[in-house]
Structure 1
Amino acid sequence: MTDLTGKHVLVTGGGKGIGEAVARRLAADGAKVTVLGRSLEPLLAVASSLPQGQALSCDVTDEAAVNAAIQEAVEVFGPVEILVNNAGAALSAPFLKQTGDDLRRMLEINTVSTWTCTQAVLGGMVDRGWGRVVNVASTAGLKAYPYVASYVMAKHAVVGLTRTLALELARKGVTVNAVCPGYTETDMVRGAVQTIIDKTGRSEDEARMELAKNNPQKRLVQPDEVAETVSWLCGANSDSINGQSIAIAGGEVM
């Protein structure tokens, strides 16, 4: 197990899916965990089940709201030492049917939230000489998929920010990395499965296999697999891992 005893971890989008799995894994490593997101009820459910957990609701694209929520979190658990930018959403439609508003929404949720939350905690990490930022991107940040142009743009931007910050902070004691899951067993993917069923008439198993077909293992990634990688990136022996975008996708991206 990674030893994160006493560390304050902030996980955005921590009420379900990958965010929930990360929150539980880092709590098991001994961390104090703040889960942050829009919907308070699932956040409270996660936080109340952790040894040291708290839930705060805010719009992670709103700089003032983020700063206020993080200040509240710091008053309880101390400075944020590990940030996991997990909040995100996807949109599937042909390029010509996506609008400028669709693009702006994908950038706000996936990219601006990462920028905003990182700016809110990074200065303290630098001042203390230690910190971890882990951005949950996607294989869509490393390659392209059809029908998700705005999502691909947003996740590529997250990977670009990861690399830039890693270089800026390389001698500051702070590492910045991204994990890039392929299709993962989450509500987002379950929604995609239902869309395939509705549009094509395929069975649920056929729809799931459609999403898993690019994974050489022919399966969906599990949230706990992503959380395990995040845990490793936050540990004491990961100091040299910096600026990386680690694909968790069964070999889909090499």
Structure 2
Amino acid sequence: MLDGKHAFITGGGTGIGLAIAQAFAEAGAQVTITGRRQEVLDEVAGPGMTGMAMDVRNEQEIIDTVAAAVAARGPIQICVANAGIAEGKAVHKTSLDFWRNMMATNLDGAFLTIRECLQSMRGTDWGRVITMSSIAGVKGLQGAAAYSASKHGLIGLTRSLAEDYLGKPITFNAICPGYVDTPIVTRNVDSISQRAGISEAAAMDVMVNANRHKRLIEPFEIAAAAMYLVGPGSQSVNGQTLEVAGGQM
């Protein structure tokens, strides 16, 4: 289905990004995955996948990496701005450094990645841009104002780009997962446990119960949503949020 397409996926070394990369590669795409550690990318890159180390907080690294990927594998026609961090902190305990790092990673990094990918995508006859927001991007998340704000901003960016490119063969959509069984959730168990003064088991229950179907979402479920957005019949889906969260908001 994706033969001849070059897909560029940030945060592609683990979790959701890796699951999407594997699904795209199996569908025939040539996939560039990025992350901060080259050794991790090299370890997980399968057939049709190439890893390139890149920090989404660094504008010049993004410019250089996207250019190198285009030189090696041709124009980017699928861009998945997936790299992000998730950490909760009460507003009265939130430093400006914490806030700025959250925005630099989750929002600035997505903006820069999309901007650079569009340089080559605009010269093609087909393109798909997917941003990885969160269910926290469509509603407030208690105790995580900085994270929620970054994910709300990502949806605003996605919808504005969809308006900019109406009538052109490029679509922009956001996927909004609930709690997914990834290393981020594993790390959050310890964080929630310490902040709330509860056991790790109870901390895991907090996240599991936040999903309306009372289980963690599997990465392949998010990959399936991404496959739909790049697949046939999705051309009229544009500027939308696709919530994969186990039920109503």
Which of 215, 221, 228 aligns to 1:225? It is 221
CA distance in 1, matches of 2:210, 2:88: 17
CA distance in 2, matches of 1:24, 1:87: 16
Q: Which consecutive unaligned segments of at least 5 residues does structure 1 have?
A: none
Aligned pairs (5 A) from 1:23-62? 23-47=21-45, 50-62=46-58
Q: 2:100 corresponds to which residue?
A: 104
Kept in 1, the 8 Å contact 2:159–2:173? The answer is yes
Residue 206 (1) aligns with residue 190 (2): no
Q: Tell me, what secondary structure is at the counterpart of 1:218?
A: coil
Q: Tell me, what secondary structure is at the counterpart of 2:236?
A: coil
Q: Which consecutive unaligned segments of at least 5 residues does structure 2 have?
A: none
Structure 1, residues 164-194: CA drift from partner, whole Å, max 9, x if none?
0011112110000000000111111111112
Q: 2:152 corresponds to which residue?
A: 156
Shift of 1:209: 1.6
Q: 2:126 corresponds to which residue?
A: 130
Kept in 1, the 8 Å contact 2:75–2:124? The answer is no
Q: Tell me, what secondary structure is at the counterpart of 1:123?
A: helix
- Which AA in structure 1 matches 2:141? Y
CA distance in 2, matches of 1:242, 1:78: 25
Q: Tell me, what secondary structure is at the counterpart of 1:127?
A: coil
Structure 1, residues 19-41: CA drift from partner, whole Å, max 9, x if none?
11111111111111100121111
Q: TM-score, normalised by structure 1?
A: 0.94
Kept in 2, the 8 Å contact 1:82–1:131? The answer is yes
Q: 1:14 corresponds to which residue?
A: 12
Structure 1, residues 29-87: CA drift from partner, whole Å, max 9, x if none?
1111100121111111122xx22111111222222211111121122211111000000
Structure 1, residues 103-124: CA drift from partner, whole Å, max 9, x if none?
1110000000110010101132
Structure 1, residues 225-250: CA drift from partner, whole Å, max 9, x if none?
00110011011221011001111001
Q: Tell me, what secondary structure is at the counterpart of 2:203?
A: helix
Kept in 2, the 8 Å contact 1:179–1:247? The answer is yes
Structure 1, residues 108-145: CA drift from partner, whole Å, max 9, x if none?
00000110010101132222131000001101110011
Aligned Cα root-mean-square deviation (Å): 1.3
- Which AA in structure 2 matches 1:6? G
Q: 1:145 corresponds to which residue?
A: 141
**More off after superposition, 58-67 vs 230-239:** 58-67
Kept in 1, the 8 Å contact 2:128–2:172? The answer is yes
Q: 2:117 corresponds to which residue?
A: 121
Shift of 1:206: 2.7
Q: Tell me, what secondary structure is at the counterpart of 1:101?
A: helix
Shift of 1:207: 2.1
Report sequence identity in percent: 39
Query: Cα 1:252–1:188, aligned 2, differ >3 Å: closer, same or farther?
Result: farther
Q: Tell me, what secondary structure is at the counterpart of 2:238?
A: coil
- Which AA in structure 2 matches 1:16? T
Q: Tell me, what secondary structure is at the counterpart of 2:31?
A: strand
- Which AA in structure 2 matches 1:33? V
Q: TM-score, normalised by structure 2?
A: 0.96
Kept in 1, the 8 Å contact 2:128–2:230? The answer is yes
Shift of 1:200: 4.8
